[in-house]
Amino acid sequence: MIKKLINKSQFNILFFLLISAIPIFAQQGSNYSMFGLGDFNNSVTSAYEGMGGTCIAMFDRNSINILNPALWTQVTTTRLQTGYRFNQHFVSDANSNKLQNNGTISLTSAVFMIDTTWKIAASIGIYPQTRINYFVKNYFSINNDETVSSGQIEYQGQGGLSNLYIGFASRVYGPIFAGATIFGNFGSAYYSNKVEYYDAYNYNTYYQKKDNFSSLGYKFGLYSELPNNFSIGAYYEFNNSIDVEREQSYGSDLVSDTSTYSSFSINAPKKYGIGLGYRTGKFQFGGDFNYLIISDLNYNSSSQMKFKNSYSVSFGGERLGNVSRNAEYLDRITYKAGIGYSNLYYQVFGQDINEYKFTIGGAFPISNTGLLDATLVFGLRGTNSNGLVQDKFIRMIIDISVGEIWFNPFKREY
């Protein structure tokens, strides 16, 4: 069995970023995304994916931190950012293998540095929080005494949850910064199961469903500079129950199509994380721990799998580029690398599914305030033994951002 598995120029930039948030679906992705709500995104942006996803206490003056809103205070200019993510999968089981790929817009957001003295910042954006993208094809043959029926079964799913957020961050006291966001989860997932017979003795059948999601959530983040060039960060995210509007249809060559409609709610996940960072000279290093509370999820489960709380750890570092415009270009590039491990939130046939990844990346200046950030992720998920599927993948993530000063510093008297 093989499974596939604001001036005019500023307005124009914002309009481009908003329309670029439309998701792109193509081919297939990880077949493990069929379970639950799909694959979760953590760091999202290339700037942090290049360090193995390490981002909770790693500030970047030119990138928008999605996981910890307190780090918006460290961005030095108003920045507009968008990105694209391409995934190439090498899927195999014990008997065969298959190539699958897909791509999507990974982020569209902006951070506004309102006051550089008090480090007051605001941010708005949209990004995919989970992604469902799989394709499974099984071939079968049934012996019925005098006749043999053969055919194929196809399982396909696409969609996921997206996150539209708005938030604020500020210095709280001295080296302590805090941020908070309110966000709406929205999106849809489309599932299709088809049975096709190769003979004239049976009827082809199909089953389809489309789920539309909606919910609200909140996120809080903290960041603090510590003595001896250390830093610490933490966040907590809470989601209300996710409302689902479902449309189902089924039919065959024998009977006409039938559609039904229903609505229900599913338990939403919660997550938190903590990170440490260290900076010395031109180098910055850090590590993250993330925990996802999702064991009570009541969506897309089966008798062969169950949900459990999951965690991930990552370590990464970067060699910071020279900020001087007169420096040689190679010296102005920021070089990044990292590793990551995830114990994913489902067990299949009683076996944990783990993911390992190694990342390399760089931030390349493209103008006075523009930046192109690119990352390659090499990863491995699952195993091709015990009836399971192994997914080896390569991800390419590219972000483009521009920065401008939109707000003049406040005049103060001391």
Residue 258 — very low, low, confident or very high, per pLDDT cuts 50/70/90? confident
Compute the average pLDDT of residues 158-175. Answer: 95
Q: So what's the pLDDT on residue 407?
A: 60
Domain that holds residue 166: 2-404
63 falls within a domain? yes
Residue 7, pLDDT above cutoff 50: no
Q: What is the CATH number of the domain that holds 75?
A: 2.40.160.60
- Over residues 97-126, mean pLDDT: 88
Give a yes or no: residue 300 inside a domain. Answer: yes
CA 168 to chain centroid: 22
User: Which tens digits make up the pLDDT trace of 37-61?
Assistant: 999 988 889 999 999 999 999 988 8
Residue-wise pLDDT for 296-310, tens only, equals 999 988 888 899 999
Tell me the whole-structure pTM to 2 decimals: 0.87
In a domain, residue 352? The reply is yes
pLDDT at 17: 35
Q: Is the predicted pLDDT of residue 404 greater than 70, yes or no?
A: yes
- How many Cα atoms occupy the beta-carbon half-sphere of 242 within 13 Å? 29
Picking from 43, 5, 85, the residue whose alpha carbon sits closest to that of residue 392 is: 5
Q: What stretch of H or E contains 224?
A: strand 205-225
Number of domains in the chain: 1
Report the 10 Å Cβ neighbour count for 367.
9
Whether residue 255 has pLDDT greater than 90? no
Q: Are 127 and 109 in contact (CB under 8 A)?
A: yes
In a domain, 410, yes or no: no
- Residue 22 pLDDT greater than 70, yes or no: no
Dump pLDDT digits (tens) for 371-394.
Answer: 999 999 999 998 887 778 889 999
Cα 148 from Cα 140, distance rounded (Å): 10
Domain-embedded: residue 153: yes
User: 413 lies in a domain?
Assistant: no
